């Protein structure tokens, strides 16, 4: 390996400006204790030599890496949903001169905590100050993270298998109220036979189902859960659900899909069978993925502000770093029902 070209150090700048290295450091850290003339001379020397202070050295002394890790678990690819969260984290972080490291992890919920093979960034110490957990989070991962004493905030919507007694910092959005409002909207438009399509073994889809059920109950309507066998994906789940919806008597006039992908599969399959959305059946989704707008007609769905989730995670993590003993907090961000073209007035 060839030598890396040597960079200007603080000592050379000190020499050039005829001051001690401490003074350079003070100027760099905008300490008030430097005279105007000295500061100007130092600044000039810094500029002339193209000096950029070595960040690692400062970090040792500060005992702060000024860097957090965004850890995406059990995702085959960086889904647009999480990509947006990452961007929210980054944009908020960079405004505060904090850096964001991206890492991925694949693990099984059944691996004992101490056997989980953490990514390199978590095997060292001092590299990052804290962690933002995204992707699917099982209890064993939480145990593992706690065992290395790494402060973290979890994006909570994809947390699985955790009881309410679990205490940790978390940020999520409101699954329950999202479908509650979406379903109320359908009811307000005159719909009475409304089904819900999703695999409710996912806790977040279960919460969405509960929101839907609540809206139905408060209007004395019967709730119907549509599932499908061995789906390959959410889209496939939606496709397979279409037939089950159509075969019900009386035929439902509206469907609430557990997420936009299910809604997409549903829409596609319905259309193939000559059933028009929203003329023959109304449809609402959840998540407001980019593709929702592209559907034809564009999908009415529950919007989740992904950037805000990222931002809030970062904000909460920073608070945790500043106050290690603070009690844990949980933030649930509101959702918003977006009316587009897939709901018809009956």
DSSP state of 72: E
Q: Work out how close the CB of 28 gets to DNA at its nearest, in angstroms, rounded to a whole number.
A: 5
Restricting to residues 266-325, name those near its own copies by CB under 8 A: 268, 271-272, 291, 294, 296, 322-325
Q: Work out how close the CB of 321 gets to DNA at its nearest, in angstroms, rounded to a whole number.
A: 16
Helix residue ranges per DSSP H, 156-231: 175-188, 203-218
Q: What would the two tokens of residue 238 be?
A: 């939606």
| Torsion angles phi and psi, residue 285, rounded to 5 | -115, -160
Residue written as tokens 């479908």? 179
**179-216 burial by CB neighbour count: b if 16+ within 10 A, else e?**
bbbbbbbbbebebbbbbbbbbbebbbbebbbbbbbbbb
Q: Work out how close the CB of 117 gets to its own copies at its nearest, in angstroms, rounded to a whole number.
A: 11
Single out the residue of 79, 252, 230, 238 nearest to residue 155, CA to CA. 79
Residue 22 near DNA by CB under 7 A = yes
Contact 171, 153 (CB under 8 A): yes
Mark 232-271 with x for binding to its own copies (rule: CB under 8 A) and - for no binding: ---x----------------------------x---x--x
Nearer to DNA, 5 or 163 (CB): 5
Residue 150 near DNA by CB under 7 A = no
Site size toward its own copies, by CB under 8 A: 59
- Please work out, in degrees rounded to the nearest 5, the angle formed at the alpha carbon of residue 253 by the alpha carbons of 233 and 218: 95
DSSP state of 157: G
Restricting to residues 40-59, name those near DNA by CB under 7 A: 51, 53-54, 57-58
Restricting to residues 116-145, name those near DNA by CB under 7 A: 125
Q: Work out how close the CB of 141 gets to DNA at its nearest, in angstroms, rounded to a whole number.
A: 25
Where does this chain bind its own copies (CB under 8 A)? 1-2, 4-5, 7, 52-57, 59-60, 63-65, 67, 70, 77-80, 83-84, 86-87, 90-91, 94, 97-104, 119-121, 123-127, 148-149, 235, 264, 268, 271-272, 291, 294, 296, 322-325
């Amino acid at each position: 390996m060839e030598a890396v070209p040597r960079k200007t150090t603080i000592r050379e700048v000190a020499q050039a400006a005829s001051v001690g290295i401490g003074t350079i450091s003070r100027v760099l850290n905008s300490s008030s204790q430097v005279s105007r003339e000295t500061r100007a001379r130092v600044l000039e020397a810094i500029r002339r030599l193209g000096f950029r202070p070595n960040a690692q050295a400062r970090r040792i002394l500060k005992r702060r890496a000024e860097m957090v890790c965004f850890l995406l678990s059990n995702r085959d690819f960086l889904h647009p949903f999480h990509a947006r969260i990452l961007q929210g984290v980054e944009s908020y972080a960079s405004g505060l001169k904090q850096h964001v490291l991206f890492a991925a992890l694949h693990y099984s919920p059944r691996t004992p905590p101490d056997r989980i093979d953490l990514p390199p960034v978590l095997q060292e110490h001092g590299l990052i100050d804290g962690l933002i957990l995204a992707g699917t989070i099982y209890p064993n991962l939480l145990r593992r993270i706690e065992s290395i004493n790494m402060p973290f905030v979890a994006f909570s919507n994809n947390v699985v298998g955790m009881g309410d007694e679990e205490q940790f910092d978390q940020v999520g959005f409101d699954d329950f109220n999202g479908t509650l409002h979406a379903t109320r909207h359908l009811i307000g438009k005159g719909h009475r036979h409304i089904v819900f399509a999703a695999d409710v073994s996912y806790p977040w889809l279960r919460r969405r189902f509960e929101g839907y059920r609540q809206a139905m109950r408060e209007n004395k309507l019967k709730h119907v859960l549509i599932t499908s066998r061995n789906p390959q994906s959410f889209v496939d789940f939606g496709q397979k659900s279409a037939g089950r919806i159509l075969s019900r008597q009386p035929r439902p006039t509206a469907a609430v899909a557990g997420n936009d992908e299910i809604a997409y599969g549903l829409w596609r399959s319905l259309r193939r069978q000559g059933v028009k959305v929203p003329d023959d059946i109304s449809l609402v989704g959840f998540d407001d993925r980019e593709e929702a707008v592209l559907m034809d007609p564009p999908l009415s769905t529950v919007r989740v502000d992904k950037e805000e989730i990222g931002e809030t995670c970062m904000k909460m993590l920073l608070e945790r770093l500043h106050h290690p003993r603070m009690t844990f907090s949980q933030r649930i961000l509101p959702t918003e029902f977006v009316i587009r073209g897939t709901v018809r007035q009956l």
